[in-house]
């Protein structure tokens, strides 16, 4: 068992992560998808509708090896699961789930990141959960880096796809409205935006495994079907990113990445005022293909289609959902409630919570010269009491708290390149991660 101080130092230590994306990978995934379709036919099942073609990401957009800290990956995971509604905390403390992996990863600047002995032991019992959640953290960290390089004059926001889509579609039998009956969906959207301009939205499907490369081929083929389930604008022109993170028990991890091309995904419409509340819509499910014989419309395919008349509404939904995710990450249920519609889970942030699962925005700390407000969590790490803090830069949080989404977006866009990159705060004496959206995740030992 490592001393707690050493665990905290390891979390802040940059390490190398291999990124695998080339024509050979794309060919292997295509062959895996074709084999799966043949098997489905043999089993009297319809082949899955997937992205027509998956491509390698050009080397100029993402290096084959990148340096990350485990703490930054956990920060990305914590932000991603804030609105997941999977635990008994009714959403108010979902993000603390990322902390269960604070001893799962190891590496340094001279090596590639891999699982620790604890990570390997956990995989024996919770293989799918650990690989899926860590895969999400790595995928979203790399997706953000890739898109920032491609769109240097834009901001990149990661938004929960289920939460955003629920504002317009009934995803499950429990949701009100016309039921989609389709279980394939991307897990996230990347919104690439500038204030007052059209956004570009890129579906992201990500998976993870503790098995090997052949499993990653299968996962990427499956992820292609999930990414295909959302079309924005013209049929088959919505770009997407698909990831499979391979976390072997006996070697370094690798992130396998492919993309689908296309000129779509742009929400090109006069923008709404984002400060106004969002209402649930009842969009009829299905993706409308173009006519192939004469002028008769084809039957809709299963999925979710954002048509031009819905562009402004969808941009509104994405911005409000991203705001809700930030205020929930800071532990403020009262500030989160106005940003969500009833179907998106507004009541999960408005009612009473179970004992020991709540999160309250009542903590304040300064990191690297910036004042943050948020929530804290005290627990034991290797028998030592530690404190975790999650929050948002105070000036930006006050805008969100008051419902000023437009003001928040203008200011965070202007500051997108100014945030510190340090991984350790000496005054706090622990690992720290600050993201461009103004959020922070930090942890330190407490005195006995």
169-211 pLDDT per residue, tens: 998 877 777 777 789 999 999 999 999 999 999 999 999 999 9
Whether the pLDDT of residue 112 is over 50: the answer is yes
User: Chain-wide mean pLDDT for the chain?
Assistant: 92
pLDDT at 172: 81
8 Å CB contact between 95 and 175: no
* Distances in whole angstroms, Cα of residue 403 to Cα of each of 287, 362, 409: 33, 19, 12
Domains of the chain, residue spans: 4-445
> Which pTM value belongs to this model?
0.95
pLDDT at 361: 64
Residues 6+ apart with CB under 8 A from 278: 167, 316, 317, 320, 339, 341
| pLDDT over threshold 70, residue 85 | no
Q: Does the pLDDT at position 90 exceed 50? A: no
Q: What pLDDT was estimated at residue 123?
A: 79
Instruction: Output the six-digit token pair for 377.
Output: 């969590």
Is the per-residue pLDDT at 333 higher than 50? yes
**pLDDT (0 to 100) of residue 88:** 45
pLDDT digits over 346-405, tens only? 887 776 554 445 566 678 999 999 999 999 999 999 889 999 999 999 999 999 999 999
Residue 150 DSSP label: H
Closest CA to 62 of 190, 149, 153: 149
Return the pLDDT at 164: 97
pLDDT digits (tens, 9 = 90+) for 41-60: 999 999 999 999 999 999 99
**pLDDT band for position 448 (cuts 50, 70, 90):** low
Q: pLDDT band at residue 149, thresholds of 50, 70 and 90?
A: very high
pLDDT confidence bin for 261, thresholds 50/70/90: very high
Asked whether the predicted pLDDT for residue 87 surpasses 90, the reply is no
> Span 408-430, mean pLDDT?
97
Query: What pLDDT shows up at residue 299?
Result: 87
Measuring CA to CA, which residue among 201, 174, 203, 164 is closest to residue 186?
203
What are the pLDDT digits (tens) for 282-314?
999 999 998 876 667 788 999 999 999 999 999
């Amino acid at each position: 068992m490592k001393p707690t101080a050493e665990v905290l130092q390891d979390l802040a230590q940059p390490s190398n992560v291999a990124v695998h994306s080339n024509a050979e990978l794309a060919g292997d995934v295509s062959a895996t998808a074709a084999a799966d379709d043949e098997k489905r036919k043999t089993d009297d099942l319809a082949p899955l509708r997937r992205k027509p073609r998956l491509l390698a990401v050009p080397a100029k957009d993402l290096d084959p090896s990148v340096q990350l800290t485990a703490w930054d990956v956990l920060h990305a995971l914590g932000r991603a699961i804030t609105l997941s509604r999977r635990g008994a905390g009714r959403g108010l403390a979902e993000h603390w789930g990322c902390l269960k992996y604070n001893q799962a990863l190891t590496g340094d600047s001279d090596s590639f990141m891999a699982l620790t002995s604890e990570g390997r032991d956990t995989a024996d019992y919770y293989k799918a959960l650990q690989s899926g959640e860590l895969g999400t953290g790595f995928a979203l960290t790399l997706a953000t880096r890739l898109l920032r390089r491609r769109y240097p004059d834009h901001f990149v926001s990661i938004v929960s796809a289920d939460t955003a889509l629920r504002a317009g579609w009934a995803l499950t039998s429990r949701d009100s409205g016309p039921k989609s009956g389709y279980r394939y969906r991307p897990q996230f959207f990347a919104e690439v935006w500038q204030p007052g301009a059209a956004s570009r939205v890129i579906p992201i499907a990500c998976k993870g495994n503790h098995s090997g490369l052949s499993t990653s081929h299968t996962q990427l083929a499956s992820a292609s079907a999930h990414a295909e389930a959302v079309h924005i604008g013209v049929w088959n022109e919505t770009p997407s990113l698909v990831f499979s993170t391979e976390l072997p028990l006996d070697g370094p991890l690798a992130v396998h990445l492919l993309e689908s091309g296309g000129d779509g995904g742009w929400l090109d419409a006069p923008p709404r005022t984002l400060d106004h509340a969002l209402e649930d819509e009842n969009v009829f499910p299905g993706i409308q293909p173009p006519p192939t014989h004469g002028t008769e419309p084809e039957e809709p395919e299963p999925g979710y289609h954002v048509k031009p008349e819905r562009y402004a509404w969808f941009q509104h939904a994405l911005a409000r959902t991203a705001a809700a995710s930030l205020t929930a990450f800071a532990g403020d249920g009262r500030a989160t409630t106005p940003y969500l519609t009833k179907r998106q889970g507004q009541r999960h942030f408005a009612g009473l919570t179970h004992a020991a699962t709540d999160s309250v925005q009542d903590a304040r700390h300064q990191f690297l010269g910036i004042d943050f407000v948020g929530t804290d969590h005290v627990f034991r790490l290797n028998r030592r009491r530690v404190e975790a803090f999650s929050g948002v830069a105070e000036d930006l949080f006050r805008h969100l708290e008051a419902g000023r989404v437009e003001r928040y977006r203008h200011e965070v866009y202007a500051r997108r390149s100014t945030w510190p990159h340090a991984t350790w705060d000496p005054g706090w004496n622990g690992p720290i991660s600050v993201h461009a959206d103004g959020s922070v995740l930090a942890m330190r030992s407490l005195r006995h």
